[in-house]
């Protein structure tokens, strides 16, 4: 079974995003970029499925600027077999990304699409569900455990209130939650080897998919700042301050 893993290049999770003064967006110039943390978890799980013999090939796909090639290389160094880069200078919406991925699925015919539950920039948490809907495949989101058995996958999901286990027919779309695994670090020899792995270059136009934006960003602003707080000296002092504030 072939596993397709979509990955996204995003602002590094440790960097605090700064809003541009003209309110057109977040300033990404000279900011450290990395693979979205949830995508790393998806890549790790796909590689583990291959190591267990449940998967035969792990194909990495990324849609974004030319630099997204670095993100694909990282995934190849973790154990991905080959990559597909669909270049786009526009910041595509989840609907457009899902449609492009559907076209990639049609070409590649994977048995499983494994991806992150959300990207930490847009915080949409939508692409996996939308891809699954467009393909009419079952979905298992927020996965914390995946077990492939024959033509189905048993997936434990993190839901409000606890955990739920579903059995989904393959092919399916599964999105990874934080607890699914701990992604490995790529070793130097593997980083070198990854440079030789194939990355197919495509453009959005190659797929003939309508990617026109449906949402117009009117403005991007900074959230209201909290006013500076005070340090209290003791627990008793704290209780009296909270009582005065009316929250106890």
Q: Enumerate residues 126-185 that contact other proteins by CB under 8 A.
A: 126-134, 137-142, 144, 154, 158-169, 172, 177-179
247 part of the interface to other proteins, by CB under 8 A:
yes
User: Which of 68, 69, 114, 70 lies closest to 91 in space, CA to CA?
Assistant: 68
Question: Minimum distance between the CB of residue 103 and other proteins, rounded to whole angstroms?
Answer: 14
Enumerate the β-bridge partners of residue 33: 11
Question: Minimum distance between the CB of residue 21 and other proteins, rounded to whole angstroms?
Answer: 13
User: Which of 127, 105, 103, 104 lies closest to 39 in space, CA to CA?
Assistant: 127
Give backbone dihedrals phi and psi of 94, rounded to 5 degrees, phi first.
-50, -35
User: Taking phi first (over 0 means left), then psi (-120 to 50 degrees means alpha), and beta for anything else, what does residue 95 get?
Assistant: alpha
User: CA torsion, points 33, 87, 213, 133, in degrees to nearest 10?
Assistant: -90
Question: Of the candidates 16, 22, 53, 208, which one interacts with other proteins according to CB under 8 A?
Answer: 16
User: Which of 79, 80, 62 lies closest to 71 in space, CA to CA?
Assistant: 62
Segment near other proteins (CB under 8 A), from 81-89, 188-196, 199-207, 213-221?
A: 213-221
Stretch 24-43 residues interacting with other proteins (CB under 8 A)? 26, 38
**Judging by DSSP bridges, how do beta strands 199-203 and 82-87 pair with one another?**
parallel
Stretch 90-129 residues interacting with other proteins (CB under 8 A)? 93-95, 98, 117-118, 120-129
241 part of the interface to other proteins, by CB under 8 A:
yes
191 part of the interface to other proteins, by CB under 8 A:
no
CB of 87 or CB of 141, closer to other proteins: 141
Residue 106 neighbours by CB under 8 Å, 6+ apart = none
Question: Minimum distance between the CB of residue 56 and other proteins, rounded to whole angstroms?
Answer: 22
Give Cα separations from 115 to 1, 39, 40, 74, 88 (angstroms): 16, 6, 9, 15, 20
Question: Minimum distance between the CB of residue 181 and other proteins, rounded to whole angstroms?
Answer: 12
Stretch 44-73 residues interacting with other proteins (CB under 8 A)? none
CB of 1 or CB of 120, closer to other proteins: 120
């Amino acid at each position: 079974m072939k596993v397709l893993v979509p990955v996204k290049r995003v602002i590094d999770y440790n960097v605090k995003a700064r809003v541009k003064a003209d309110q057109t967006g977040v300033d990404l110039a000279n900011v450290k970029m990395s693979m979205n943390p949830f995508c790393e978890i998806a890549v790790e799980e796909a590689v583990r499925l291959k190591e267990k013999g449940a998967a035969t090939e792990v194909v990495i796909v990324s849609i974004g600027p030319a630099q997204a090639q670095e993100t694909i290389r990282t995934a190849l160094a973790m154990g991905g077999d080959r990559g597909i880069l669909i270049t786009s200078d526009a910041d595509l919406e989840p609907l457009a990304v899902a449609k492009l991925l559907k076209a990639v699925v049609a070409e590649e015919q994977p048995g499983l699409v494994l991806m992150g539950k959300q990207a930490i920039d847009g915080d949409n948490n939508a692409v996996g569900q939308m891809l699954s809907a467009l393909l009419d495949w079952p979905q298992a989101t927020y996965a914390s455990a995946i077990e492939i058995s024959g033509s189905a996958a048993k997936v434990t999901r993190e839901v409000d209130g606890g955990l739920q286990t579903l059995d989904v027919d393959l092919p399916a779309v599964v999105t990874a939650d934080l607890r699914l695994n701990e992604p490995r670090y790529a070793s130097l020899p593997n980083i070198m080897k990854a440079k030789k792995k194939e990355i197919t270059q495509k453009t959005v136009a190659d797929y003939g998919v309508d990617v026109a934006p449906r949402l117009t960003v009117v403005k991007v602003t900074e959230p209201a700042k909290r006013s500076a707080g005070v340090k209290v000296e003791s627990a008793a002092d704290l209780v009296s301050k909270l009582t005065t504030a009316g929250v106890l």
